[in-house]
Chains A and B, each alone.
Chain A
Amino acid sequence: MDIQNTQSQMRKGVLEFCILSVIRKGEVYPSDIVEKMKLAKLQILEGTLYPLLTRLKNSGLLTYRWVESNSGPPRKYFVMTEQGLAFYSELENTWKELADAVYLITNTIENVEEQPNNQIEENETQPNNQF
Chain B
Amino acid sequence: MKKVININFQGRVIPIEESAYEMLKQYTESLSKFFANEEGKDEIINDIEGRVAELFAETLKKGATCIGEADVNNIINSIGRPEDFETEDMGILQNNATNENNNNNNQQSNNFNNNNEPRKLFRDENNKVLGGVCSGIASYFNIDPLVVRILSIIFFGIFFIPYLIVWIAVPSTAVQQIGSMRKKLFRDPDQKTIAGVCAGLANYFGVNVWIPRVIFLMPLIIKFLDKLTDWDMAFTPNFMFVSVSPGVIFTYVVLWIVLPEAKTTTEKLEMKGEKIDINSIKNTIQNDMEGFSKKAQQWSMNINSQVSSSANKAFGSASSVANDASQFARKTSSSLGDLLILLVKIIAYFFGGLALFVAIVTLFSLGVAFTTALPLKDYLITQGWQNILAWGTLLFFIWVPVIGIVTFIIRRVTKSKANSNYFRWGFSLLWLIGWFCLIGFFVSLKNDFRYKNNPTENSLQINSNISLLEVKGKPLNKYNSSWYKFDLGDFGNLDEDTIFIKNYKIRIIKSTTPNYQVTMAKMANGNSKINATATANKINLNIKQVDSTLFIEKGIAINTTDKFRNQHVLITIAVPVGKRIKINSIFMKSVNFNTTSFSSDDDFDDFYYGNDGESFSYNNNVEYIMTEKGIKRTENNKPIIDEDIDNVDIEENYNDENDDSNKKNKLENYKQSREALKQQIEQERKDLEQKKKQLDEKQKEYNKTIDSTKTTAIKQTTVIPTISTLKVNNDSNKTIVASCDIIKKRFLI
Please list the residues of chain A having a beta carbon within 8 angstroms of any beta carbon in chain B. 2, 4-5, 8, 11-12, 15-16, 30-31, 44-48, 50-55, 58, 71-73, 75-76
Contacts and interface: CB of A to CB of B under 8 A. Distances in A.
B214 interface: no
A12 B87 contact: yes
Contacts of A50: 44, 47-48, 51
Given A16-B88, A47-B85, A72-B54, A55 B40 contact: yes
A58 B39 contact: yes
Contact of A55 (B53, B85, B92, B110): B92
A5 B106 CA distance: 11
Contact of A47 (B40, B48, B107, B114): B48
B48 A46 contact: yes
B630 interface: no
Interface stretch (B76-84, B246-254, B482-490, B538-546): B76-84
Contact of B51 (A46, A52, A54): A46
Interface of A is mostly: helix
Interface string B79-119: 11110111111001000000000000001001100100000
Given A15-B86, A46-B79, A72 B38 contact: no
Contact of B81 (A11, A47, A73): A47
A2 B106 CA distance: 14
Contacts of B39: 55, 58
Given A47-B80, A58-B40, A53 B47 contact: yes
| Most A C-beta atoms less than 10 A away, residue of B47, B81, B84, B89 | B47
A55 to B, nearest CB: 7
B54 A51 contact: no
A51 B78 contact: no
B52 to A, nearest CB: 9
A51 B53 contact: no
Nearest to B77: A45
B61 interface: yes
B438 interface: no
Contacts of B89: 51-52, 55
Interface in B359-415: none
Contact of B85 (A45, A53, A54): A45
B550 interface: no
Nearest to A15: B88
Nearest to B78: A46
A45 B57 CA distance: 20
Contacts of A72: 11-12, 53-54, 57
Contacts of B12: 72-73
B283 to A, nearest CB: 19
Given A45-B78, A48-B80, A75-B54, 11 more contacts: A11-B86, A12-B88, A47-B31, A50-B48, A51-B44, A54-B40, A55-B39, A55-B92, A71-B57, A73-B10, A75-B50
B204 interface: no
B599 to A, nearest CB: 73
A45 B51 CA distance: 12
A16 B107 CA distance: 21
B435 interface: no
B11 A73 contact: yes
Contact of A51 (B38, B51, B84): B38
B449 interface: no
B35 interface: yes
A46 B80 contact: yes
Nearest to A73: B11
B643 interface: no
B43 interface: yes
Contact of B84 (A16, A47, A54): A47
A58 B89 CA distance: 14
B53 A30 contact: no
17 contacts: A12-B87, A16-B88, A30-B47, A30-B51, A45-B78, A45-B84, A46-B48, A47-B31, A48-B86, A50-B44, A50-B48, A51-B44, A58-B40, A71-B57, A71-B61, A72-B11, A72-B53
Which 9 A-B residue pairs are closest in the complex by CB-CB distance? A45-B80, A47-B80, A12-B88, A73-B11, A46-B79, A50-B47, A54-B40, A47-B79, A48-B86
